[in-house]
Amino acid sequence: MSRATRSPGAVLVGASAAQTSVSLVNFGLPSIGPQLSDTLDMSLFWLGAVLASGLLGAGMALIAAGSAVDRMGARRAMLIGTAIATTGLVAAAFMPSPQTLFAALLVFGLGSAVIPVAGTGALFAVYPPARRGWALGIRQTAVPLGGTIAAVTYPGLFAVGGVELTMLGSALVVAATGVAFAIVAGDDRRPAESRIERPFRTILAAPGLRRLLAVAACYIIVLQALLAYIVPAVRAAGHSQLTAAVAYFGINVAAMVARIVWGTIADRNGGSRRVRTLVEVGLLAAGGAVVFAAALHGGGAIVVAAAVLFGLGALGWNALVYVSAGERVDASLAGRSVAVAATVVFVLSGIATPALGAVADEAGWDALWITTALIALLGAVLATRLGEVSTLARARPDP
């Protein structure tokens, strides 16, 4: 399927479906975090490590995935990555300890790394700059959508068949959507003579790119704190399992709304509002973290409302970072520039999550949320120093 005949809508649906299936695992496992902890007798450190292992594996492989998509084409890279990811999930179904479950989910992450890279590259190819924030926002809603679906289905699957049924069901979904997207994405490859030498050095030298990565580093720590620990924090504050489940569901819905809304706002004036929107997202996340910390000492309804407010900021920035990363470089490097940004995001999510759990263990939940507020504020301050990219200079779809 050539770029000329490829339907932007079909590419968007395919990319979103594949991302949703991966997010079932990466962002859905926290919904059964207490059950996993009880079943495998995990500390908060190991629970955090298991919950972040898929993202850590993806972070380790994203740059290689970007090169694979460039050299092999999206279709072949997607099929290979999907096979590896599915194998990891099948193995995870039968792991008897936190350490072996961590390893199996790490393999899943290594394979799934190709999905966000191929998806972003395909969307950059079929959407113009003034629509990319919206398109990437739609695709990024797949992340909380996967978490939302898992919040509804994973507890039931776990109750019926434990880790085995939960992981095997996830493997089936990942395999089906990965193959479907491979077909829709096509098999474009960049000719060898058109490739830029030392591409990653060129990417890191792009104006504002390193500062953008620092902003992403701050924001992913805040995101992981909320997603990984909202359920344990709500339960530790004395609230019911129902309140914790509703709060988790609420932040995933908030994330879906936020990514579309923030992406649409960032597209205003021909897409020249990216930086200002990144600042606003960070400020809302910082304020939301403080409000959430206070709300945990109140009633259940207040906790849910505060969690949603927190989620509107903490979970709404991803598409903005990826679009900005892709637009700060030559069109031929847009996919790999996004891979670099996603590497920072995924690797830090894997490193930060157990460390955040250790903070909660040692200093309590209030300390965790105040820490995340300060980190979000730091990200917003860093974002204020980013320069907007001229609309005319942005990477455009190849003809």
Structure tokens of 97? 């300890």
Q: What is the pLDDT of residue 194?
A: 52
Burial per residue of 3-18, b for 16 or more beta-carbon CB atoms within 10 angstroms, e otherwise? eeebebeebbbbbbbb
Burial per residue of 317-350, b for 16 or more beta-carbon CB atoms within 10 angstroms, e otherwise? bbbbbbbbbbbbbeebbbbbbbbbbbbbbbbbbb
How far apart are the C-alpha atoms of 218 and 225, rounded to whole Å? 11
Residue 32 lies in a domain: yes
Cα torsion at 57, 217, 151, 295 (round to 10°)?
A: 150
CB 20 within 8 A of CB 140: no
Q: Classify residue 193 as exposed, middle or buried by CB count within 10 Å of its CB (0-12, 13-18, 19+).
A: exposed
Q: What is the pLDDT of residue 366?
A: 92
Residue with tokens 């998806």: 119
Name which of 342, 372, 292 is nearest 19 in CA terms: 342
Number of structural domains, the chain? 1
Q: What's the pTM?
A: 0.74
Q: Which domain holds residue 339?
A: 8-189+199-390
Alpha helices in the chain (DSSP H): 8-26, 33-40, 44-72, 74-92, 98-112, 114-126, 129-140, 142-185, 199-204, 209-236, 241-266, 268-271, 274-295, 300-314, 318-327, 334-363, 365-383
- Give the model confidence (pLDDT) of 195-233 as tens digits: 566 777 888 888 888 999 999 999 999 998 998 889 889
Structure tokens of 306? 């505060």
Residue 399 lies in a domain: no
Structure tokens of 190? 């960049």
Residue 397 lies in a domain: no
CB 292 within 8 A of CB 306: yes
Residue 141 lies in a domain: yes
Ranges of residues in the chain with a pLDDT under 70 are 1-6, 186-197, 332, 388-399
How far apart are the C-alpha atoms of 185 and 144, rounded to whole Å? 22
- DSSP annotation of 125 reads H
How far apart are the C-alpha atoms of 41 and 36, rounded to whole Å? 8
Structure tokens of 389? 């990219």
The type of residue at 11 is V
Residue with tokens 């995870």: 92
Name which of 15, 265, 263, 326 is nearest 133 in CA terms: 263
Q: What is the pLDDT of residue 389?
A: 65
Residue 194 lies in a domain: no
Q: What is the pLDDT of residue 267?
A: 84
First to last CA, the chain: 14
Residue 74 lies in a domain: yes
Structure tokens of 40? 């495998």
Angle between helices 98-112 and 44-72 (to 10 degrees): 20
How far apart are the C-alpha atoms of 252 and 200, rounded to whole Å? 33
CB atoms within 10 A of CB 38: 10
CATH of the domain at 296: 1.20.1250.20
Q: What is the pLDDT of residue 368?
A: 93
Residue 325 lies in a domain: yes
How far apart are the C-alpha atoms of 72 and 64, rounded to whole Å? 12
Residue 218 lies in a domain: yes
Structure tokens of 182? 């491979």
Q: What is the pLDDT of residue 398?
A: 41
CB 184 within 8 A of CB 8: no
Residue with tokens 């990219």: 389
